[in-house]
Chain A
Amino acid sequence: GQQLNQSPQSMFIQEGEDVSMNCTSSSIFNTWLWYKQDPGEGPVLLIALYKAGELTSNGRLTAQFGITRKDSFLNISASIPSDVGIYFCAGQLKYGQNFVFGPGTRLSVLP
């Protein structure tokens, strides 16, 4: 099946630092989603992106739909301890199809 790659796999940052992560594929997607999963919980939707080049913010989080439609980026500004968790991207190849999820980026924030 289709595969999404996320990088980095994991990252350790200091509180207050900015964070960048990305999601790439060899296929063209028409929708990108970013989820966050806290330990022991289910994923929660953060941001949805619908067209190439789109830049969308949700508080300190900003995500972009790559121009090539094969990638997406998530940035977190001024990280805080509650940002700890696993961040997943998900892509949809065609409208109406189910989403493919990436393996996740595990974020740790050091005080």
Chain B
Amino acid sequence: DAGITQSPRYKITETGRQVTLMCHQTWSHSYMFWYRQDLGHGLRLIYYSAAADITDKGEVPDGYVVSRSKTENFPLTLESATRSQTSVYFCASSESDGRWYEQYFGPGTRLTVT
């Protein structure tokens, strides 16, 4: 059982390029989340989704776009990458019942913007 996977695991891109990070979960969890992790900041929520076709902004959404056409996928797109978006990105998912806050994280994507 794959659980939650992210691809690519590592990505180097240039400033101004569009890049999409993929997240796939096999549990049929309703909730999915995108976080970025930077030194000294812990994890900061970018976007989240409560179900297919329902998305909402988190703490740091600027410069990012998400979509969720299928329950199992939640791609994150950087429309025009900037150096400040160099970070480690984590996707997470959780169930829709009373334990929705118990989030299961993917292995992360390390993105470098040059």
Which residue numbers of A lie inside 8 Å of B, CB to CB? Answer: 1, 4, 31, 33, 40-45, 48, 88, 90, 92, 98-104
Contact = CB atoms under 8 A, between A and B. Distances in A.
Nearest to A96: B100
Interface stretch (B11-19, B64-72, B76-84, B102-110): B102-110
Given A42-B108, A103-B41, A104-B42, A48 B102 contact: yes
A103 B40 CA distance: 5
B96 to A, nearest CB: 12
B101 A42 contact: no
Contacts of A1: 59
Q: Name, among B41, B42, B45, the residue most crowded by chain A CB atoms within 10 Å (CB to CB).
A: B42
B108 A41 contact: yes
B45 A98 contact: yes
